Structure 1
Amino acid sequence: MSTPARCVAQLSQLRADRAERIVVDGENILLVRDGDTVRAYAADCPHAGGPLEKGALCNGRIICPWHKGTFDVATGDVLEPPPLVALDRYPVMVTGNDVMVTPEKLPQPLRNASDNSPHFVVIGAGAAGAAACAALRECGFTGRLTLVGEEPHAPYDRTALSKFVPSGEMTPGDVPPLLAPDWLARHDVERIVAKLARLDVPQRTIHFETGGELTYDTALLASGSVPKLPAISGRELGGVYVLRTLDDAATLVDALGEDAQNAQVVILGSSFIGLETASSLRKRGSQVTVISPEKISFARQFGERAGTMFRELHERNGVVFHLEANVTSLEGEEGNVHEVMLESGEHVAADLVLLGTGVAPATGFVEGLPLQKDGGVIVNAGMQAAPHLYAAGDIAVFPLHENQEPVRIEHWRVAQQHARIAAENMCGARHRYVGVPYFWTYHFGKRFEYLGHASEWDDLVIDGELDRQAFVALYVKDEKVVAVLACEREAQTARLIDAMGNGLNGLSRADALKIVLSD
């Protein structure tokens, strides 16, 4: 029996600039008015469940407040990650002034293979790899598609590993997948779990460590990063860990065990991974010390004033810092780390040491392609690195702005943006990266968002209270907003990221302030 339509709203009461959530027969539905047309979509973002009505509705785009996933108002299709699949749709019609919705989802189109040729291979089963597979099928690619990755797990949300797993808020087994568990199979994506020995770029051939090879017509290289390991004595001791993969997170949690509250954890490096993990471990009750050669954490990304705010937030929550400090060795007893020795002569007790000392591009297996000194892969604005080869994510050195040096940005969402552009171009498009870089970081229950990418600025304009973590900070260069740092201003950052992406000449300070002060 078909589900009858319900009258859920009056057209005259729906705003064109704001979506509205309704609940019909237990279904959370988003109503979006576009002129005299109304569309009905799932009200929660498919990435992490963000309430879409609390984001922004502007320029034909629905923007999630939490992670700035963006959807087309007319179709519900993904325009910007981190969501990788379109919004579920519901039948809707307008009769006179009555908006009628049937609370029964319309079926999503199933896009799969109809031929074995051409053969596209995605190398790397992380954020970019998953985004590429989804985008390739979305773009209508019906050839053979293979996803190659070293980890045994299906692509998962790596951002949870430092934010929520060490605190116990999320178990390693609960880290969410990026695609539904059966998505790869339903869309005819072959999955190969193997470590690469060589990628022969000129011959378009992948050689596996276990033997065997795989040839392709076109490939996307999205192999991500590997942790940098500092050259210090004692690094091989038991109790010394890195945090990059799901297995790393599970090992760290197991090492903490039931006595996490009494554990003395030392984190080397004040990177985002390091300080997010520090925050997460303090929630668990562990004693946390951060040792870093930097004077002010995050100063390079956010400036000294914001960097100081982050340090003070951590200190108020019990994190101890040794800044402008260098480690000379890790000392152990019975094969396990016992203390950290500093250049100053200080000894810091440690039951567990986490190396948060940065990452490097995972490209050591690539042959026949020039690489930068750090292993980065130079691509053009369409994410192409060589004939029949594209690159995305942490490894990609790409032109963010015209007439400026290309950059390599290690942001999870940027990797997915790259992958979508690459996938579209693999299917014959000629699209360029014009997105706005975005990432979010989480400390002691506070979500901080960063929009854009500022290597330098000449003014910092702050609305709100930086020290209370309720603010928008505009990084301004030549009267243009080049980046935004914000906390507890999610609707405003949704509008800001849209304005930053749509302005051909950049977003002016004055226009940005209009958005910031609009609520």
Structure 2
Amino acid sequence: MVEKAPQVVQEAGTRGAGSPVPDQTLYDVAAIEDVREGDILPITLQEQSIALVRMGDDIHAIGRRCPHKGATFRGDLACRSSVHGDVVVCPWHKAVFGVRDGKLKEPIAFSHLPVYPVRQVEGRVLVGAHPMSRKPVEQSGEEERVLIVGAGAAAASAIYTLREEGFAGRITLIGDEGFLPYERPALSKGVFLGGGEKVQPSPLLSEAFYARHEIARMRGKVVALDCEKKEVLLEEGKRYSADHILITTGGRPILPPLPGIELEGVMSLHTVRDAWKIAEEITGDQAVILIGCGLTTLETASALRQKGAGVTIIATERPFPMEGQWGREVGQILRRLHEDNGVAFVTDTAVVGIHGTERVTGVELGDGMVLNCTHVLVSVGNKPSRDFLPSHIEDEGVVGGIIVDDTMQVRPGIYAAGDVAAFRRNGALCRIEHWRPAQCEGRAAARSILGLPPQPMPVPWYWTQQFGKKLEYLGWGESFDHVLIEGDLGGFDFMAAYMKGQKVVALVSSGRSAAMARAAVDFEGFVAREVRTRIV
């Protein structure tokens, strides 16, 4: 990092790309040779955290921290996207920004990066300390109305994209929780470590954003949709119509038909209210049974154990967590991680009933054993929230959801995005139930509403945090027949390539955030350049 006081060189300049910049003092901050191709050189200039990025002969200066959670851009996080050109990628949550304009290209951030003036003079890099002003976006759709049903990640992304791309019409958001769209993944990643009042996940867009951009918000449950009239009916009897309707209703937890499933103390985790209840009721001296063994279960188990509660996971699908999705090798280290932290596993028999009169006292297993507990948390999957749809919108039964085309459109003027949407990929229906993909789909739907050309959907990425260990996945959830691993699996410093024959169909890693960031932007190129030379 360049921390010495920079030399004042001149009062005006041009960017490396040659476009004019406003008059301002430029400072000598680095030698050109110190800014390496594709690498990021961090500097501090008058308390501004700036990243110097070299792409070819041009050097650019942009903000050094991701506006989402403040991750620092450093090292080899600059790369080329076939869709967006030269970009930098957040190592934490894979937001993608243009190097030349700082503009957000892909979620999950909801803000652009500042861009600073740059000039190259006699082997030195000169940078201004004040961000360049942005050209106002051209406004459109002043007389049009967009109605968004469902207030989750896809909705927030669509709202942001509509306004940032110049939509000037009316936007109305209807949600049934009564909250602004918030960071739902935080619910299972540690919110239980404090009391209920501390369970406050961050809103995806601030209250000020909704006010500044005149987003109308209301709480209500939609019970019917008329595609021809482009109209929705709320449970209370009110009707709302629009030129464009975007459905982002997500999913709801599946509750298995077990005896006793209705008892007090049997819970699921989906909303912030669920999290409040769990945080308030479950203390460090209680015993909790978790049914299911997906990522939400594992993250919840980690949080509850750190709180001191006794935790037993009951899952009969496979002996190791996430084995079907991530393979036996990664599943083994996940189970070992949990067992080393006091989590017990039952994988050879299933829950057949929940005991108690008014409140749960235990669960009965298929072999006749009864495990005593104070609470049961059920996490066996979600079903798409689509009960309000007319019968002629089919779901084809396999993946559920609402089938959309390449533009996220269901019918003319009707769109869907997020967990509720299913789209075709390689001839098969695909429905992705994760946070960043939902935001990417919301962005794609907004671009379609605006009449912008469709862009390829990014390869889905998601992450998990358990007992301080972070793992990342990148792929479409395709089946694989073997796994190749490079690095220290037990030390959580590895890259795993999931193979279908000779093709890499997915990656799982730990301790390789920068590499996964590059792969998230250019999966095929990353596989060809880096995975095949090191692993395959």
Normalized against structure 1, the TM-score is what?
0.91
CA change 1:80–1:496 in 2 (3 A) is same
Answer yes or no: is the 8 Å Cα contact 1:112–1:188 preserved in 2: no
Distance 1:95 1:430 in 2: 39
CA change 1:111–1:355 in 2 (3 A) is farther
Question: Is 1:484 aligned with 2:510?
Answer: no
Which residue of 1 is the match for residue 341 of structure 2?
A: 317
Question: Is 1:514 aligned with 2:530?
Answer: no
Distance 2:98 2:187 in 1: 30
Answer yes or no: is the 8 Å Cα contact 1:265–1:353 preserved in 2: yes
Distance 1:110 1:352 in 2: 54
**Partner-residue secondary structure (3-state), 1:176:** coil
Q: Deviation per CA, 1:154-189, whole angstroms, max 9, x where unpaired?
A: 111111110121234996554222123311221222
Q: Equivalent of 1:433, from 433, 437, 456?
A: 456
- The residue type equivalent to 1:376 in the other structure is G
Which residue of 1 is the match for residue 149 of structure 2?
A: 123
Q: Deviation per CA, 1:84-107, whole angstroms, max 9, x where unpaired?
A: 221133344444444333434455
Q: Equivalent of 1:358, from 358, 370, 381?
A: 381
Distance 1:489 1:51 in 2: 15
Which residue of 2 is the match for residue 134 of structure 1?
A: 160
- The residue type equivalent to 2:413 in the other structure is H
Distance 1:111 1:175 in 2: 31
Which residue of 2 is the match for residue 345 of structure 1?
A: 368
Shift of 1:406: 1.7
Q: Deviation per CA, 1:391-439, whole angstroms, max 9, x where unpaired?
A: 1111111123x3x312111111111111111111111123143311111
Which residue of 2 is the match for residue 474 of structure 1?
A: 497
CA change 1:169–1:240 in 2 (3 A) is closer
Which residue of 1 is the match for residue 87 of structure 2?
A: 61
After superposition, where does 1:90-109 map in structure 2 within 5 Å? Answer: 90-106=116-132
- The residue type equivalent to 1:286 in the other structure is A
Which residue of 1 is the match for residue 107 of structure 2?
A: 81
Shift of 1:440: 0.5
Shift of 1:126: 0.7
Q: Equivalent of 2:422, from 394, 397, 400?
A: 397
- The residue type equivalent to 2:69 in the other structure is A
- The residue type equivalent to 1:495 in the other structure is R
Distance 1:180 1:101 in 2: 32
Distance 2:219 2:42 in 1: 41
Answer yes or no: is the 8 Å Cα contact 1:111–1:137 preserved in 2: no
- The residue type equivalent to 1:330 in the other structure is I
Answer yes or no: is the 8 Å Cα contact 1:164–1:170 preserved in 2: no
CA change 1:516–1:9 in 2 (3 A) is farther
Q: Equivalent of 2:402, from 355, 377, 383?
A: 377
**Partner-residue secondary structure (3-state), 2:113:** coil
Question: Is 1:386 aligned with 2:391?
Answer: no
What is the aligned-residue identity percentage? 35
Aligned length: 506
Distance 1:316 1:135 in 2: 44
**Partner-residue secondary structure (3-state), 2:522:** helix
**Partner-residue secondary structure (3-state), 1:65:** coil
- The residue type equivalent to 2:347 in the other structure is L
Distance 1:19 1:140 in 2: 31
Q: Unpaired runs of 5+ in structure 2?
A: 1-22, 81-85
Q: Equivalent of 1:228, from 243, 247, 254?
A: 254
Q: Deviation per CA, 1:101-160, whole angstroms, max 9, x where unpaired?
A: 343445567779887521111222111000111111222212111122112211111111
Shift of 1:282: 1.2
CA change 1:3–1:195 in 2 (3 A) is farther
Distance 2:104 2:156 in 1: 14
Most deviating of 376-385 and 163-172? 163-172
After superposition, where does 1:204-353 map in structure 2 within 5 Å? Answer: 204-256=230-282, 260-296=283-319, 297-332=321-356, 335-353=358-376
Distance 1:277 1:110 in 2: 44
- The residue type equivalent to 1:318 in the other structure is G
Distance 2:130 2:271 in 1: 38
Q: Equivalent of 2:465, from 442, 445, 450?
A: 442
Answer yes or no: is the 8 Å Cα contact 1:32–1:73 preserved in 2: yes
Answer yes or no: is the 8 Å Cα contact 2:436–2:461 preserved in 1: yes
Shift of 1:495: 2.4
- The residue type equivalent to 2:507 in the other structure is V
Shift of 1:36: 4.4
Answer yes or no: is the 8 Å Cα contact 1:113–1:144 preserved in 2: no
Most deviating of 473-482 and 86-95? 86-95
Q: Unpaired runs of 5+ in structure 1?
A: none
Shift of 1:329: 1.8
CA change 1:178–1:502 in 2 (3 A) is farther
Shift of 1:463: 0.1
Answer yes or no: is the 8 Å Cα contact 1:194–1:208 preserved in 2: yes
Most deviating of 78-87 and 281-290? 78-87
Shift of 1:470: 1.3
Distance 1:112 1:227 in 2: 42
Distance 2:307 2:517 in 1: 32
Which residue of 1 is the match for residue 12 of structure 2?
A: none
Distance 1:174 1:137 in 2: 26
CA change 1:317–1:217 in 2 (3 A) is same
Cα RMSD (Å): 2.4
Q: Equivalent of 1:47, from 68, 77, 81?
A: 68
CA change 1:252–1:109 in 2 (3 A) is farther
